[in-house]
Amino acid sequence: MLAHAQHYPALVLNADFRPLSYFPLSLWSWQESVKAVFLDRVSVLSEYDEIQVHSPSCVMRVPSVIALKEYIPTARRPAFTRFNVFLRDNFACQYCHDRLPTHELTFDHVIPRAKGGRTTWENVVTACSPCNLLKGSKMPSEIGMHPRLKPAQPTTRRLQENGRSFPPNYLHESWRDYLYWDTELEG
Ligand SMILES: [Zn+2]
Give residue 90 CA to ligand 1 midpoint distance, Å.
Answer: 13
Expressed in angstroms and rounded, the spacing between residue 141 Cα and the centre of ligand 1 is 17
Strand partners, 109: 124
pLDDT digits (tens, 9 = 90+) for 45-56: 999 988 888 877
Structural domains for the chain: 5-75+165-179 (no CATH), 82-154 (1.10.30.50)
Terminal Cα distance for the chain, rounded: 44
User: Ligand 1 center to residue 100 CA distance, Å?
Assistant: 9
Whether residue 31 contacts residue 13, with contact meaning beta carbons closer than 8 Å, is answered with no
Tens digits of per-residue pLDDT, 145-157?
999 999 999 988 8
Of the ranges 82-86, 165-169, 175-179, which is most confident?
82-86
Whole-structure pTM value: 0.66
